Amino acid sequence: MSAAATADWERLIELSPEEMQSRLGEALHVYVTAMRYPPSAMHHRGPTWLGHAAREGWRGVAAVDRRGDMVGVAYGYRGAPGQWWYEQVHHGLLDTGDADGARYWLRDYFELTELHVLPGTQGRGIGEALLRMLLDEAIGAQVLLSTPEGPSRAWQLYRRVGFEDVLRNYRFAGDPRPFAVLGRPLPLD
């Protein structure tokens, strides 16, 4: 476990697209550690994350410890037709016969793309603080996210702040795990 994982978090910071680029290695380390992915996943996700930072409405935030090391990261942007995630969720909703849900949820939303906290710092309110700061000025009538199915701290957080089911047990292309798509109106209470 890294020193950052055992240190207490101190504060939240906003990330500009340029800061995300300069701190991408740290952010991806948080991601692969929190998701228990192999380190090689960092190389595949890096270009995607940088591409996301150029999208309309992109916002990024991070939690840092006393030394300034990143212990949590979150970002998102305005969802739109033609984006991979939008198309996946749109088809998933249509496949379940929920055309009304597709029209409602996908018409004007902020996609909470990533929210990760190092395991050694979880349970200290970092995830909720990141979520609230990220969504405080998010663009859209609602916010949508996807998370692996099953009990987790993430599930508890999302339910606690009012996220509801949009699509359950969905399998995104390229990932065999079942995911839930959750949403709620903006702003947060």
Domain ranges, residue 35: 3-185
8 A C-beta contact, residue 137 and residue 186 = no
CATH number of the structural domain spanning residue 76: 3.40.630.30
Q: Which stretches of the chain are DSSP H helices? A: 3-6, 17-22, 24-35, 41-52, 84-95, 99-106, 126-136, 153-160
List the catalytic residues.
158
Q: d(Cα 164, Cα 60) in Å, to the nearest integer?
A: 23
Question: pTM of the predicted model, to two decimals?
Answer: 0.92
User: How many domains in the chain?
Assistant: 1
pLDDT by 10s per residue, the chain, length 189: 344 444 567 899 999 999 999 999 999 999 999 998 999 999 999 999 999 999 999 999 999 999 999 999 999 999 999 999 999 999 999 999 999 999 999 999 999 999 999 999 999 999 999 999 999 999 999 999 999 998 899 999 999 999 999 999 999 988 899 999 999 999 998
